[in-house]
A and B are shown apart, each in its own frame.
Chain A
Amino acid sequence: MIYISRRTDAPLKKAVAIKAFAILLSLVVCALVLFVMTRLNPLDIYIAMFKGSLSTQRKFWALLQNTAILLCISLAVTPAFKMKFWNLGAEGQVLIGALVSATFMFYIQDSWPSWLLILVMLVASVAAGLIWAGIPGYFKARFGTNETLFTLMMNYVAIQLVKFCIAVWVPNGSSVMGVLNRQTQCGWIPSLFGQKYLINILIVALLTVLMYIYLKYSKQGYEISVVGESEKTARYIGINVKKVILRTACISGAIGGLAGFLLCAGTGHTVSATLAGGNGFTAVLVSWLAKFNPFGMILTSLLIVFLQKGSGEIAQAFRLSDNISDVTTGIILFFIIGSEFFINYKIHLRRK
């Protein structure tokens, strides 16, 4: 007879030990699966995995850049999730931010000074993301509509808008938009110390600190926690719940828009319907895994990007199907998430 009880006191040491054991176990299981399916030496595969993000300087900076973008989107969804406002529309909020940035680059080209264009793009992208999340936020606050479906649907609206704009802008009927302002680099976020992604990374680092302070120490952050934990209590205490919902949804969308700006102005200098690349959903995982702690999210986003990159490298190096990377990433995440159960609960055996 097995029964389960809640751990009332899980010391940090124990939690870390359980997590570490889970990761170790997941690597063993991955190795077994890979060996059974491919007959390759698992050790070689793991070495390749590290090569995916650490073998060259370029790969290392790409790892940091991708982590920064994923982290930025995760920071976007975090305040909403903390309020139990299930914003599944980060994908669309990022996309609409990028689209607005691209629109400015496309029409202004180099008729404005670059710094002015960048500034305008930044403000406009943030505003676009804000509106994109603000609409479902307003309906939730005013009419109690379901934000999960609403934000999800807004993703598709954003995708179609991007497709429409590309169709209008690209004359030859191609569905791919080229790099904008390639010659003049007007509206491109400049390199710093020779690293073109460094400014992106610094912006996200600053945002991480700000979000941590906002959630933990500001009055608004406190209101978010109260509304998320118990709307009834919030109402009883005199918090204007509708206002908090709308405000938080807007903040969430605005940061999503910022991520879109970083992707367009600071990374690819173009826009496509797959620009967000599922990061809007991965961000949900990153945020939850870190229990909504922005500093924890640095680790979780880094882990996920590292796994993605490493798995891509494996697929390439051993000429395996791309799906093998999904399998390994899946196994590892399964173990990490599953370990939460053992941190929170204890399993006892009882003889009948």
Chain B
Amino acid sequence: MAVPAIELRNITKTFGSVVANDNVSLSVYRGEILALLGENGSGKTTLMNMISGIYHQDSGEIFIDGKEAVINSPKDAFDYKIGMIHQHFKLVDVFTAAENIVLGIRKTLDLAGTKKKIQEICRKYGFEVNPDQKIYDMTVSQKQTVEIVKVLYRGADILILDEPTAVLTPQETDRLFAVLRNMRNDGKAIVIITHKMHEVEALSDRVAVLRKGQFIGTLKTSETDAQEMTNMMVGHQVSLNIERPEPLDPKPRLVVENLTVVDQDGIKKLDNVSFTANSGEILGIAGISGCGQKELLESIAGLQPVESGNIYFIKNDGEREQLIGLEPLKIKELGVALSFVPEDRLGMGLVANMDLVDNMMLRSYTNGKSMFTDRKSPTKLAKQVVDFLEVITPNVFTPVRKLSGGNVQKVLVGREISNAPSVLMTAYATRGLDINSSYTIYDMINMQKDRQVAVLYVGEDLDVLLELCDKVLVLCGGKVSGMVDCRNTDKHTVGALMTRLGGVKA
């Protein structure tokens, strides 16, 4: 066989007492797409960060094209023609695409030449980039394209992409995959980290699986299937079907009428939105990021000033209670819970420097008349959440920032559900979560459905939305572009609805 573009030999990396990578050996060849699979915290990103110069291994060697390489900084990685596209984009908002692409290259600034070269790269692989467009004017997928062009511009021929599709619509994902295939055919070595099995099957040539920091093995994609890969990843048999029990006796619980929200800059974020959420049903909300999902949930939770419209909460006796104008705490007391998992997973809802107990207490500390906090019941709750959701943590007095992303989310969602809400709003609950944890969360949401809770589920993965939810409300540019029944809709219909209105370019 040919000499591998990258060969890792016995790489070990520890952070304090945590072994992130344990004796990992792995090869990537030119002209192939390798999918790197593994649960959250299995060490995929750490491994790739060592190749791209962000970390340095404790022991083991990296060989590039058969020669031992010492990679101490991202610059060293670039010198070996390695480029990594991170989950969080590293672009200057007020600069144009071209300016961002030349940033940091220490040569005479020649924007005209740069643009020509950018266009060449775009033509070669099938990108669409306007070099003069400012980053803040771009959609997420356009920003990602700039990131990819940036590393290609610098001559990278080994590309690493960390969960590139997490933020893309199906159409955008298809386009990205077409580009990646072109690059593979051009002889580049590509590593892609992803959690989505159908993407692995559609795109990759080989699959490498990590579990708890250890290298489990590689498979040819054509010779395996989602079930086998999942079992390797998790280490035991997992069922891949999301359950969808039939709703029992659905009754209107939350009625939104003609809701319009204008943000501080005077831009309409929600435009005349109306819908009804029923008890015992899961209502999915789909849309490209920034289409008003966040504003919708925040309006219902009382965190967002509303321009006009009504939001009614319907009590068990049929009485309507107007939510607009109520204090967030009052709305919470009615049983409306919101768990929003932001891009950085922490920012909202959790306090990184506080331990699990204090984070549980965020929702309950106002209980009781005493001026002192009660830490007993949050401690109990924290222990329950840790046990039930299998949160990996030394104990419940560990600051949340020390937990891995998936575990942080379990804590957040677990806390919201523990409130026994009658309306549960959850946004991106499985953002970046591995299969096993995601399924735990789906189960939790289904349990709420059984409890006659009206669930509003904002998600990114259309496959999941359509499998889990009863109905999906599609937003586009702040307007409702459709309400579909999930039992007889496919994802391309929803994808088309997401981009149908002229408000946002896809």
Give the interface of A toward B (CB within 8 A). 1, 3, 5-9, 217-222, 225-226, 229-230, 232-233, 235-238, 350, 352
The contact of A233 among B18, B351, B371, by CB within 8 Å, is: B351
Q: How many A-B residue pairs have CB under 8 A?
A: 70
Residue contacts A-B, CB under 8 angstroms, 23 given: A1-B72, A8-B15, A8-B16, A8-B402, A217-B372, A219-B372, A222-B358, A222-B361, A229-B351, A229-B352, A229-B353, A229-B354, A230-B346, A232-B347, A232-B348, A236-B301, A236-B303, A236-B340, A236-B348, A236-B349, A237-B363, A238-B302, A238-B329
When distances are taken between beta carbons in the complex, the residues of chain A under 8 Å from B363 are 237
User: How far is B302's CA from A135's CA once the two chains are assembled, in angstroms?
Assistant: 29
Give the distance in Å from the alpha carbon of A226 to the alpha carbon of B370 in the complex: 19
* Smallest beta-carbon distance B79→chain A, Å: 15
The answer to whether A219 and B349 have CB atoms under 8 Å apart is no
Q: Which residues does chain A contribute within 8 Å of B362, judged by CB atoms?
A: 226, 233, 237
Residues of chain B lying within 8 A (CB to CB) of residue A236: 301, 303, 338, 340, 348-349
A72 shortest CB reach to chain B, Å: 23
Complex Cα gap A71–B372 (Å): 24
Task: Give the complex CA separation of A221 and B371 in angstroms.
Answer: 10
Could you tell me if A3 and B56 are in contact, using CB atoms closer than 8 angstroms? yes
- Asked if residues A218 and B371 are in contact (CB atoms below 8 Å), the reply is yes
Judge if B327 is at the interface, Cβ distance under 8 Å.
yes
Residues of B151-209 whose CB lies within 8 A of A: none
B91 CB-CB contact with A under 8 Å: no
Q: Which of A8, A219, A238 contacts B328 (CB 8 A)?
A: A238
Minimum CB–CB distance for B269 against chain A, Å = 17
The residues of A that contact B350 with a CB separation of less than 8 Å are 233
Q: Verify B16–A7 contact, CB threshold 8 A.
A: yes
**Contact string against A for B residues 425-457, beta-carbon threshold 8 Å, 1 for contact and 0 otherwise:** 000000000000000000000000000000000
Interface centre among B329, B340, B402 (most CB of A within 10 A): B329
Q: Are A218 and B16 in contact (CB under 8 A)?
A: no
B residues lining the A interface (CB < 8 Å): 15-18, 56, 70, 72, 301-303, 327-329, 332, 338, 340, 346-354, 358, 361-363, 365-366, 370-373, 402
- Residues of B within 8 Å of A219, CB to CB, are 365-366, 370-373
- Which residues of the partner chain A approach B353 to less than 8 Å between Cβ atoms? 229
Per DSSP, chain B at the interface is loop
Q: Provide the bound-state CA to CA distance between A225 and B354, in Å.
A: 9
Q: Which residues of B contact A237 (CB under 8 A)?
A: 349, 362-363
**Is A350 a contact of B56 with CB atoms below 8 Å?**
yes
Question: Which chain B residues border A233 with CB–CB below 8 Å?
Answer: 347-351, 362
Q: In the assembly, what is the distance between CA of A226 and CA of B72, in Å?
A: 38
Min CB distance, B11 to chain A, in Å?
A: 15
A230, B351: Cβ atoms closer than 8 Å: yes
In the bound complex, how far is the Cα of B373 from the Cα of A221, in angstroms?
9
- How many whole Å from B61's CB to the nearest CB in chain A? 14
* A residues less than 8 Å from B18 (CB atoms): 8
Contact partner of A9 (CB less than 8 A), chosen from B16, B340, B351, B365, is B16
What 17 new A-B contacts, CB under 8 Å, besides A8-B16, A219-B365?
Answer: A8-B17, A9-B16, A217-B373, A219-B370, A220-B371, A221-B373, A222-B365, A225-B351, A225-B358, A229-B353, A230-B351, A233-B362, A235-B303, A236-B348, A237-B349, A238-B332, A352-B72
Q: Tell me the minimal C-beta distance from A2 to chain B in angstroms.
A: 11
The distance from the CB of B505 to the nearest CB of chain A, in whole angstroms, is: 29
Q: Which A residues are in CB contact (< 8 Å) with B354?
A: 225-226, 229
The residues of B that contact A226 with a CB separation of less than 8 Å are 351, 354, 362
Question: How far apart are the CA atoms of A218 and B17 in the complex, in Å?
Answer: 34
Q: A7-B16, A238-B332 are in contact. Are A222 and B373 (CB under 8 A)?
A: yes
Contact residues in B for A221 (Cβ distance below 8 Å) = 373
A233 and B347 alpha carbons, distance in the complex (Å): 6
Q: Which partner residue on chain A sits nearest B370 by CB separation? A: A219
**Min CB–CB distance B375 → chain A (angstroms):** 8
On chain A, the residues within 8 Å of B16 by CB distance are 6-9
Distance from A149 Cβ to chain B, minimum over Cβ atoms (Å):
24
- In the bound complex, how far is the Cα of B17 from the Cα of A226, in angstroms? 29
- B302 to chain A minimum Cβ distance, whole angstroms, is 8
Partner among A3, A9, A218, A238 whose Cβ is within 8 Å of the Cβ of B327: A238
Q: How far, in whole Å, are A236 and B303 apart by their CA atoms in the complex?
A: 7
What CA separation (Å) do A230 and B361 show in the bound complex?
Answer: 15
CA separation between A352 and B329, bound complex, in Å?
A: 57
Q: Are A230 and B352 touching (Cβ within 8 A)?
A: yes
Closest CB in chain B relative to A346 CB, distance in Å: 9
Q: Closest CB of chain B to A232's CB: distance in Å?
A: 5
Contact residues in B for A220 (Cβ distance below 8 Å): 371
- Cα separation A222 to B329 with both chains bound (whole Å): 17
CB closest chain-B residue, reference A8: B16
B17: A residues at CB distance < 8 A = 8-9
Q: Which residues of A contact B349 (CB under 8 A)?
A: 233, 236-237
- Chain A residues within an 8 Å CB radius of B372: 217-219
With a CB–CB cut-off of 8 A, which chain B residues contact A229?
351-354
Q: Cβ of A6: which chain B residues have Cβ within 8 Å of it?
A: 16
- Return the 8 tightest CB-CB contacts between A and B, nearest first: A8-B16, A238-B328, A238-B329, A229-B351, A236-B348, A237-B362, A217-B372, A232-B348
A236 to B328, CA, bound (A): 8
Bound complex: CA A229 to CA B348 (Å) = 11
How far, in angstroms, from A239 to B346 measured CA to CA in the complex? 17
* Minimal beta-carbon separation of B7 from chain A (angstroms): 21
Within the assembled complex, what's the spacing in Å between the Cα atoms of A9 and B14?
A: 13
Shortest Cβ distance from A5 into B: residue:
B15
Write the nearest CB–CB distance from A79 to chain B, whole angstroms: 15
Contacts of B302 in A (CB 8 A): 238
A212 to B352 Cα, complex, angstroms? 22
Give every chain A residue within 8 A of B348 (Cβ-Cβ). 230, 232-233, 236
Residue of B nearest to A225 (CB): B354
Distance (whole angstroms) from the CB of B413 to the closest CB of chain A: 14
Q: Give Cα A129–Cα B16 distance, bound, in whole angstroms.
A: 46
Specify the chain B residue showing the minimal Cβ separation from A223.
B365
**Nearest A residue (CB) for B361:** A222
Q: With the chains together, A220 CA to B365 CA distance in Å?
A: 10
Q: Which of chain A's residues have a CB closer than 8 A to the CB of B327?
A: 238
Minimum CB–CB distance for A8 against chain B, Å: 3
Bound-complex Cα distance A229 to B399 (A): 12
Q: Report the Cα distance A238→B302, complex, angstroms.
A: 9
Residue on A nearest B367 in the bound complex, by CB:
A219
* Cα–Cα, bound, A230→B358 (Å): 13
